[in-house]
Amino acid sequence: MSKRPALLAMPRILYGTAWKDTRTSDLVYEAFVQGFRGVDTAAQRKHYREDLVGAGLARACRELQLQREEVWIQTKYVVLLTRFTPLSGQDTKGPLPYDPAASVADQVCASFVSSLTHLHPDAQIPDVRALLAQYAVRANPDAARTEAPRQVVYLDSYLLHSPLPTLQGTLEAWVVMEALVDAGLVRHIGLSNVYDPHIFAMLFERARIKPSVLQNRWHSSTGHDVSLLALLSPVLSPNAFPPPADVLEAQPRGVAYQPFWTLTGNQRFLQSDAVALVSSQRGLTPAQVVYAFVSQGMGLPGLTTCVLSGTTDTQHMREAVEAVRTAELDPWDDAELASLRREVYGE
Ligand SMILES: NC(=O)c1ccc[n+]([C@@H]2O[C@H](COP(=O)([O-])OP(=O)(O)OC[C@H]3O[C@@H](n4cnc5c(N)ncnc54)[C@H](OP(=O)(O)O)[C@@H]3O)[C@@H](O)[C@H]2O)c1
């Protein structure tokens, strides 16, 4: 039997698939031609066409001869409980991937099956509920002693798009995500749109399987997540970026930070003298400088980051991949990164 290739580590840049509508499939394919090896999408029809992301990925894998293991597939899901929230986060004109009156656990499960199906159009989708019954540690404590199987069809990373209105609701969803990891259907689980370090710390503490990703808006209105960053890095000195003292734990975190709005929400930074200087010294566009800076954890010790770029322009795709890849091979020096960081965080 031929050996399956090693699994890909999270790339430092993912192709963002929001707001592309019917162009999604072609743009995902083009992004892979230009060197992207991962996508970020969501089961949220209002902003994403997850089904067309799957079609674009299938074409890219076929035509570029990539195996599933050489591609990073990340998606997010939204829990909508009629008892909690209006359906504003979803496009109710299109089909919802689940019944909004169902329990949190049932919604997560149904949404996951729908995402897995969208993102692997050519594959046979396993019986997810049967696998959960067999391997979920909570449902079956004996499963804790069994090594998690590696399924043929899986997601690299699965994120909760936003926390639910209650901690209890969020934890209900999280337990299902943990079970998906137990069953080998998901490699990493994570959170998005968590801006309060208290909430992040509480979820982190209560989770049996810890979040590996935090995907947040990178913007001055939230202080560019200044008080969260020290919670994500296993080694970042709390003195450099202090989170509120009562949420700081000695325990290492090691959570990858995935900012969005990196260009659109940071025009002042993009047009700053600091970016212009690095841009002229390195012969990069200002957007490349910002992406390369972010991809290097903004020079913060131990901070892992992943750039999200949703460009629709072929040249911008190529430039983004090149900037991130070059910085990965030949990291910038501390002084250069600090000059950019000062512009954002004013340290
Ligand atoms: N979790 C959430 O709530 C959430 C929210 C928003 C977004 N996201 C994710 O993040 C991804 C990225 O979204 P985003 O809001 O950060 O915006 P974006 O889609 O990455 O970029 C927006 C703008 O930046 C321009 N641009 C991109 N690369 C460029 C380059 N190299 N040089 C010059 N201009 C460039 C684009 O123009 P061109 O097309 O002309 O290049 C576009 O106008 C989304 O697709 C989605 O996957 C997640």
Residues at CB less than 6 angstroms from ligand 1:
16-18, 40, 161, 192-193, 215, 260-264, 285, 287, 308-313, 316, 319-320
Q: How far is the CA of 309 from the centre of ligand 1 (A)?
A: 5
Cβ partners under 8 Å of residue 17, min gap 6: 24, 27, 28, 39, 40, 41, 48, 49, 50, 53, 310
CA of 5 to the centre of ligand 1 (A): 31
pLDDT digits (tens, 9 = 90+) for 199-249: 998 899 899 999 999 999 999 999 999 989 988 886 665 445 555 554 444
Cα diameter, the chain: 60
Closest C-alpha to ligand 1, atom 33: 287
Q: Work out the percent of the chain whose per-residue pLDDT is above 90.
A: 70
CA of residue 240 to ligand 1 center, whole Å:
29
Residue 98's pLDDT band, with cuts at 50, 70 and 90, is low
Compute the 3-state secondary structure of the chain and give helix, strand, coil in percent, each to the nearest 5: 45, 10, 40
CA 271 to chain centre: 27
Identify the pLDDT of residue 250. Answer: 39
Of all atoms in ligand 1, which is nearest to the CA of residue 291?
Answer: 31
Task: With beta carbons less than 8 A apart as the criterion, state whether 258 and 214 touch.
Answer: yes
